[in-house]
Structure 1
Amino acid sequence: MLVLTRKINESIIIGDDVKVTVVEIKGEQVKLGISAPKRISVHREEVYLEIQKENQKAAETMVGIEELNAMWSKKTK
C-alpha cells in the first residue's frame, strides 16, 4: 500500500483519469473530492462490497435456458 500525506486542497492523481483531492479535514474525518470519467465507478468500500455480494447472489440464482423452458412448459399445461 502506498501511503501519502496531503493537506487541504492538495491532490493525488491515479492513472491519467482520476484525481483525488483533500477537500476538508474535521477531527478524525477527511472529506475527499474525486474527479473521474463517468465510465469509472467510484464507491465507498462498504457500498462496493454490498454491490459485489448482491451480484454474486444474482449470478448464483441465474436459471439456464433449459430450466426456463421446463418452467414455461409446466405453466402452459
Structure 2
Amino acid sequence: MLILTRKQGEAFLLGEDIEISIAEINGDRVRIAINAPKDVKILRKELKDAGELNKESAISVSSEETLFNITNLTEKFKEKNKKTT
C-alpha cells in the first residue's frame, strides 16, 4: 500500500491518464477530484462492499428457497404416489 501526503490543490497520477487531486479539506473531511477516462469505473468502496453483501445474501436466499421448493415438490410427489397406489 502506498500512502501519500497531499495538501489542498495538490494532485497525483495513477498511470498515464488518471489524475487525483485534493479539491478541499474541511475538518476531518477531504473532497477528492478524479479526472479519468469515461471507461474507467469509479465506485466508492462501501457501495461495492454493500453490493457484494447483497449479492451473497441473494444467492443464499435463492439457495434456501430452491432447497425448500425441492423439498416441497418431493413431499407432493410422495403424496401423489400414495394416492395413486
Q: Name the TM-score, length of structure 1 as normaliser.
A: 0.65
Q: Which runs of 4+ in 1 moved over 6 A?
A: none
- 1:7 maps to 7
* 1:1-40 → structure 2 map (5 Å cutoff): 1-40=1-40
String of CA shifts for 1:14-70, please: whole Å, max 9, x gaps.
011211100000001111001111111111110122233445567x46xxxxxxxxx
**Which runs of 5 or more residues in structure 1 are unaligned?**
62-77
C-alpha spacing 1:37/1:53, structure 2 compared with 1 (3 Å): farther
- 2:46 maps to 46
**Which runs of 5 or more residues in structure 2 are unaligned?**
63-85
Q: Name the TM-score, length of structure 2 as normaliser.
A: 0.60
Q: What is the one-letter code of the residue matched to 2:18?
A: V
**Aligned alpha-carbon RMSD (Å):** 1.9
State the aligned residue count. Answer: 61
CA distance in 1, matches of 2:39, 2:49: 19
C-alpha spacing 1:57/1:39, structure 2 compared with 1 (3 Å): farther
